[in-house]
Amino acid sequence: MKKIALVFVLAVFVPSLVLAWLAVRSLRDQQIVLERQQALLYQGIADGLAREAISFLQSSQREFNQQVERLLAESSVADAASHFDRRLRQAWPYAEIGFAVSLDGNIIAPSLFDSPEARKFRLENERFLCSREVLEVYWNGPKGQINLTQLDQEKEFAKRDSKAEGDKNITSSDKEVAVETKSKGDGSDKAVFATKGGKVPSGGVPAKRTEPDASAKTNAEGAEFRQLVGDSTEGTLARFLQAKLNLLFWYRSPRDPQLVFGAQVDLRRVVEGLKRTVRVDDALTNEIGVALLDDNGKPVAASPPRLVRDWKHKFVASEIGEVLPHWEMAVYLLNPVRVAQSARTAKFLLGVLIGVLLVAIGVGSWLIVTDLKRQLTLARQKTDFVSNVSHELKTPLTSIRMFSELLAEGRVKEEPKRQHYLHIITAETARLTRLINNVLDFARLERGEKKYEFKPCDLVSITRETVETYRPHLQSNGFELHCGLPAEPMNVNADGDALAQVVVNLISNAEKYSADQKEIAVTVQRNGRFVEVKVLDRGLGVPTGCEDKIFEQFYRAHDSLASGIQGSGLGLTLARQIARSHGGDVVYEPCEAGGSCFVLRVPMVG
């Protein structure tokens, strides 16, 4: 038993626990993978929306360039530059202020006296636009077709020719440009911004810069306006003044590459345009919301419009880039705990399954152990059965052989003794026949080969004949047999011989367990639609807890050869099986005065 339990633990229980642990670990790994996949998916959405926002700003830049070219086409370059602020604001609604500045540091428009807004713009940006001040700005200038270095060299040659002719009246602005050109040197291929966010070193030459990745982090770079313009034809500048973002578009026309036309953009109109890019796919409307956050982390546009969230706790985000520094397209989960809830639900279900598995293993092990015990008990009972049957066969055979030898040798002269010995031989032969029939009938029932001949018969008559046949044997052994049978017949549809065998087995059982009080009573009565045959004794009775076990095969409540109680343990089992084959049953009923009462119930007919 211990070996079997150990094998069960090692072969079933421990592997089941290991599999359960692996399942929990796999579920945790799957949750991590799911969260990563979700983050990658929504990061892709945020990056896509950021690219759409950048595309909108680029289209606004192109609109500005077209407006500049149209204004230059309507009048001369000088006239367009002088009135650029007023005309641009009239033609292009995105412009707050329009400006025109020459690369030598002369602001042509707006004038200090045009408007309060123009005066404020000049005061805030004049030194930077004139390249007399280095500021921290965010810039984006795609590669153009104009070589600013070549223009500087041509201008330097013109100044040298002017000096050779004795012209000493050099303007202060020309001096500044000359000093600036000299300080920058001739190496146009030097990379001033070696890395993103790097500062412009003193004496460096501006490098050609491509459009930055929108998803990258933006950093301010210190530079003069001329350095930022470089060889590009267009670009954007962003700077913070008094914690407010100022966005500038600028453009250099091929009509006059020395002039830079620009505009300070109205961010409110830009935001209105960007709102069209802030949208969520219909398939994801129940999962996420998106918002455009400004540099303060506050939403300026959201989808769905009524999206209310703790804006600081975004799931993923993508920066717009240098055009709108620190502005982000942020993705928020409408149900942030859904993944965690799904994981908890999966863990709960897995825990339940593991619990059910462990319970099933426990119940299965209990059933296995119970069945094993039953098999061991059955094996022991079979061993006892063989011993009992051997004893049961040996005892009558010994008696039959002994008395038959006495009679055959003529040793018994008295006739009464001869009759007594013949009676013993007959009784032992009947007992031996009954034992063999029980064993054979039980074997047939186990194999399902037992055949019955059902026909209407009187159970009262069957009981009377059986009792009268068994009476001499009981009386010779000192038993008092009381028989209470009704006069009227009680018909049943049954095999008469099989029912007679049941009655014999019940009487034989009462005989074996009667002990000192040798008294047996047999009665027949009607109980509802059943006919009941009761066999009562005043013997040992049935121990408590064994009321059902006594009907099991090979089971004996007083199972010991030393007890002196003969039997094979098949009588009651066979009696119940025969009765149930007839639609009835054999049950045990305790007697208040002691002893046992076994009842055969068979359904009546007619």
Least confident of 77-81, 421-425, 536-540: 421-425
More confident residue, 558 or 228: 228
pLDDT greater than 50 at residue 245: yes
State the pLDDT confidence band at 381, using cuts at 50, 70 and 90. Answer: low
Number of alpha carbons in the 13 Å side-chain half-sphere of residue 391:
15
State the pLDDT confidence band at 50, using cuts at 50, 70 and 90. Answer: very high
**Model pLDDT, residue 39:** 86
Q: Are 42 and 315 in contact (CB under 8 A)?
A: yes
Q: Are 397 and 432 in contact (CB under 8 A)?
A: yes
Least confident of 239-248, 332-341, 342-351, 557-566: 557-566
More confident residue, 19 or 54: 54
CA 151, CA 437: separation in Å to the nearest integer? 130
State the pLDDT confidence band at 162, using cuts at 50, 70 and 90. Answer: very low
**Model pLDDT, residue 108:** 92
pLDDT greater than 90 at residue 251: yes
pLDDT greater than 50 at residue 596: yes
The pLDDT of 26-32, averaged and rounded, is 76
3-state SS, 566-603, equals: CCCCCHHHHHHHHHHHCCCEEEEEECCCCCEEEEEEEE
Helix locations, 477-519, DSSP H:
496-512
Residue type, 386: V
**Model pLDDT, residue 283:** 83
Name all contacts of 365-370 with Cβ < 8 Å and 24+ positions apart: 365/8, 365/12, 365/13, 368/8, 369/1, 369/5
Q: Are 248 and 264 in contact (CB under 8 A)?
A: yes
Q: Is 131 left (phi over 0), alpha (psi -120 to 50) or beta?
A: left
pLDDT greater than 70 at residue 384: no
State the pLDDT confidence band at 99, using cuts at 50, 70 and 90. Answer: very high
pLDDT greater than 90 at residue 10: no
Unique residue bearing structure tokens 């409110």: 268
State the pLDDT confidence band at 218, using cuts at 50, 70 and 90. Answer: low
- Of the chain, the percentage scoring pLDDT greater than 90 comes to 27
State the pLDDT confidence band at 409, using cuts at 50, 70 and 90. Answer: confident
pLDDT greater than 50 at residue 204: no
Least confident of 118-122, 224-228, 462-466: 224-228
Q: Buried (b) or exposed (e) across 141-171, using 16+ Cβ within 10 A? A: beebebebbeebeebeeebeeeeeeeeeeee
- Of the chain, the percentage scoring pLDDT greater than 70 comes to 77
**Model pLDDT, residue 241:** 86
State the pLDDT confidence band at 200, using cuts at 50, 70 and 90. Answer: very low
pLDDT greater than 90 at residue 8: no
Mean per-residue pLDDT over the chain, rounded: 78
The pLDDT of 244-249, averaged and rounded, is 91
Q: What is the enclosing helix (H) or strand (E) of 73? A: helix 14-74
**Model pLDDT, residue 163:** 47
**Model pLDDT, residue 372:** 79
Among 266, 216, 291, smallest CA distance to 60 is for 266
Q: Are 70 and 99 in contact (CB under 8 A)?
A: no
The pLDDT of 316-325, averaged and rounded, is 88
Other beta carbons within 10 angstroms of residue 528's beta carbon come to 9
Collapsing DSSP states into helix, strand and coil, what is residue 21?
A: helix
The pLDDT of 317-323, averaged and rounded, is 88
Least confident of 216-230, 361-375, 475-489: 216-230
Task: Return the top range by mean pLDDT from 390-399, 472-481, 491-500.
Answer: 491-500
Q: Residues 102-116: pLDDT tens digits?
A: 988 899 999 888 888
**Model pLDDT, residue 391:** 56
The pLDDT of 43-61, averaged and rounded, is 92
**Model pLDDT, residue 565:** 57
More confident residue, 169 or 380: 380
Collapsing DSSP states into helix, strand and coil, what is residue 245?
A: strand
The pLDDT of 21-48, averaged and rounded, is 82
CA 338, CA 495: separation in Å to the nearest integer? 72
State the pLDDT confidence band at 336, using cuts at 50, 70 and 90. Answer: confident
pLDDT greater than 50 at residue 425: yes
**Model pLDDT, residue 94:** 93
Helix locations, 96-222, DSSP H:
116-129, 148-164, 172-184
The pLDDT of 46-73, averaged and rounded, is 93
More confident residue, 381 or 439: 439
Least confident of 133-137, 169-173, 506-510, 552-556: 169-173
Task: Return the top range by mean pLDDT from 84-98, 145-159, 271-285.
Answer: 84-98
CA 10, CA 5: separation in Å to the nearest integer? 9
Among 203, 243, 242, 206, smallest CA distance to 221 is for 206
The pLDDT of 494-505, averaged and rounded, is 88
Beta 107-109 vs 244-251: how paired, if at all? Answer: unpaired
Other beta carbons within 10 angstroms of residue 426's beta carbon come to 13
State the pLDDT confidence band at 430, using cuts at 50, 70 and 90. Answer: confident
**Model pLDDT, residue 158:** 47
pLDDT greater than 90 at residue 52: yes
Q: Are 596 and 588 in contact (CB under 8 A)?
A: yes
> In Å, what is the CA distance from 29 to each residue of 115, 343, 357?
65, 11, 22
Among 599, 600, 602, 598, smallest CA distance to 583 is for 602
Q: For residue 191, what are the contacts with CB-CB under 8 A and spacing of at least 6?
A: 207
> In Å, what is the CA distance from 489 to each residue of 11, 243, 527, 580, 583?
64, 117, 14, 22, 19
**Model pLDDT, residue 417:** 81
State the pLDDT confidence band at 455, using cuts at 50, 70 and 90. Answer: very high
**Model pLDDT, residue 517:** 81
pLDDT greater than 50 at residue 604: yes
* Domains of the chain in sequence order: 2-54+273-337 (no CATH), 76-266 (no CATH), 371-603 (3.30.565.10)
